[in-house]
Amino acid sequence: MSETSPARYWFVAIQVYRRGPPAIREVFFQHRIQLLRAEDAQQAYERALFMGRTWGVQSGWVFEGLHDLQELVDVLPAVADGKPQGAVGVEHMTEDRCVYLWHAREDQGWPITPKDQMLVFWDGDTSKWPFDQGPKLA
């Protein structure tokens, strides 16, 4: 990625943070859905980890890791002049924005997913399907 041109692809990362005693009475998890740009999945993964650690230090929450990372696909229909119809397409978004976050008690926090089990890194081999439940592809 050059200094003058933005990275080519948009990704969304679900970051997981923890906070508990002595800062607060019980353990809570915070889940942040974060937008970022990167040239590929590996760069997006590294940036999501860096951003998570940085925000964790700044906020007082402990960054636990990523629940998921996905490439964001622009599926908006275009009008005749090529501009998106009815909503803003991903090419018009600004970078590094948290678009949604929520808190959960310790027993309800989402798990951290190992990198090799994130769908963005899945090579299509159904014998390595990373989930106990869900679709089993033929």
| Tens of each residue's pLDDT in the chain, 138 residues | 445 566 688 888 999 999 877 777 788 888 998 888 899 999 999 999 999 999 999 988 999 999 999 887 654 444 545 554 444 455 556 666 667 677 788 888 888 888 887 878 877 666 655 444 443 433
Looking up tokens 């402990």 gives 62
Distance CA 46, CA 108 (A): 26
DSSP 97: -
Instruction: Specify the pLDDT at position 117.
Output: 79
Instruction: Specify the pLDDT at position 82.
Output: 54
Instruction: Specify the pLDDT at position 45.
Output: 97
DSSP-assigned states of every residue in 32-94: EEEEEEESSHHHHHHHHHHHHHHHHHHHTPEEEEEEEEEE----PPB-TTS-BSSS--GGGPP
3-state secondary structure of 67: strand
Backbone angles phi, psi at 6, to 5 degrees: -70, 160
Backbone angles phi, psi at 24, to 5 degrees: -140, 165
Looking up tokens 């508990």 gives 20
Q: pTM above the 0.85 mark?
A: no
